Structure 1
């Protein structure tokens, strides 16, 4: 058989046959005097087995292990591992579909979506905050953190934020902080309103959001990108609020107090 006849007989492409030759999965036959490869029934049997294994989901490296005489794994072991991997994928797909169903069943999807059902519920509960440009950015950052954080840390952060915005009073305080920050768009970073906004932001920000026992690196790539997304005075207010929170946490750990403020010199 020629390569085209072999490929047609097994139901693959000639390109696939050449690729299997290149990877060493399918031995190359001897060539006739006219230069054409002469494929035998044995080549068709091996090629058909390669097709069956790949259709089961095996990668070509795993197919090589199965076909090799000195393979460290037999076919049963390889197929067992494949079955376990498919079971994990099946579980992940079920979880994703459940999340999609929760989002689709919601009355309205948030502009930042898709997000987790937990964060979508938080956004729905604090919907009045979306009137503030600063609130919109804050929601975008929350969606970013939820996406990028490891699962355990994401769960912890969402629980902290949810608890912090549970009452109408806490929502009102957050609204006030957003309003103060919105006013800083065209303000000089040295304006006294920057300090007022920083203190109010620190008051309504749970200390648990900060990494436990670790100093905040304001020159980190993430924080530099965060500050750059705001007007200079807004970025300065956020920077000061973080310093107030870290100073308060340090003071609280030292003397047992929970006061969330510090003097202006320390905030700077």
Structure 2
């Protein structure tokens, strides 16, 4: 026979936990012996192991108490349900672990493989690391917050980049980052970008997410905050497109 301390040590729980199980009606409390100590037999140890296993699987104590009085079939069904739930939690934790490791490696990409390939191609085409990082953050935001339109928007962008003339405009936009905000080249670049935009989309509404979304402004705000020249360029473009 075991004392409560010995039982706790063998099963791997604290004596306080055993007393909680007594109070909750999960584990019968044995009578005291002649010395005034409660003694636990093998049956109590086995029951405690079952309770500990269920508790570690996340089963509430009230549910564990109900299962103690369940028949074999009901108990088996409950165990299968618990196992399925635990498997789902494990899958979720593994996915979280993967994202955590990606975050630690600086590559948390909530974006499809084709976008990743596109970003790698931008570097090869001569875009700055700053531009590629901004594009990555942009597409992470769009794919996370507006997945219903993200693919169409991305493919439109990729098609534009495939055209050497259009790609040249974006390269010039990238290089304008370090211009003085009053540099006359910004006026000329804004004009070329507006002309190209109207040539592709006409004078109607430009493609994008729903008009009440705060994400486009959030993205453009992050871009503009990194460069006074980019901020002025954005203002010039919006004014000429009638979006100011």
- The alignment's TM-score, normalised by the length of structure 1, stands at 0.57
How far apart in 2 are the matches of 1:147 and 1:118? Answer: 12
1:84 Cα deviation from its structure 2 partner: 3.9
How far apart in 2 are the matches of 1:149 and 1:195? Answer: 33
The equivalent of 2:49 in structure 1 is 48
Compute the RMSD of aligned alpha carbons. 4.9
| Residues 1-268 of structure 1 mapped to structure 2, 5 A cutoff | 1-9=2-10, 11-14=11-14, 17-18=17-18, 21=21, 24=24, 26-27=26-27, 29=29, 38-41=38-41, 43-54=44-55, 58-61=57-60, 64-68=62-66, 74-85=74-85, 88=88, 113-115=107-109, 116-129=112-125, 131-132=127-128, 135-142=131-138, 144-145=140-141, 148-149=144-145, 151-179=147-175, 181-184=176-179, 186-188=180-182, 193-200=185-192, 203=196, 207-208=206-207, 210-212=208-210, 214-215=211-212, 222=218, 226=222, 229-238=225-234, 241=237, 243=238, 262=241, 266-268=242-244
Instruction: Decide whether the 8 Å contact of 1:164 with 1:170 is kept in 2.
Output: yes
Count of residue pairs the alignment pairs up: 225
1:122 Cα deviation from its structure 2 partner: 0.5
Instruction: Decide whether the 8 Å contact of 1:198 with 1:240 is kept in 2.
Output: yes
How far apart in 2 are the matches of 1:19 and 1:229? Answer: 60
How far apart in 2 are the matches of 1:68 and 1:197? Answer: 73
How far apart in 2 are the matches of 1:199 and 1:19? Answer: 78
Instruction: Decide whether the 8 Å contact of 2:181 with 2:229 is kept in 1.
Output: yes
Change (3 A) 1:39 1:169: farther
Per-residue Cα deviation, 1:26-74 (whole angstroms, up to 9, x for no partner)? 447378599986253454233111233356xx3132x541432699xx4
How far apart in 1 are the matches of 2:12 and 2:220? Answer: 53
- Structure with greater Cα Rg: 2
Q: Which has the higher contact order (CA 8 A, sep 6+)?
A: 2
1:234 Cα deviation from its structure 2 partner: 1.8
Change (3 A) 1:133 1:51: closer
Structure 2: gaps (5+ residues): none
How far apart in 2 are the matches of 1:137 and 1:89? Answer: 33
How far apart in 2 are the matches of 1:93 and 1:121? Answer: 27
How far apart in 2 are the matches of 1:147 and 1:36? Answer: 67
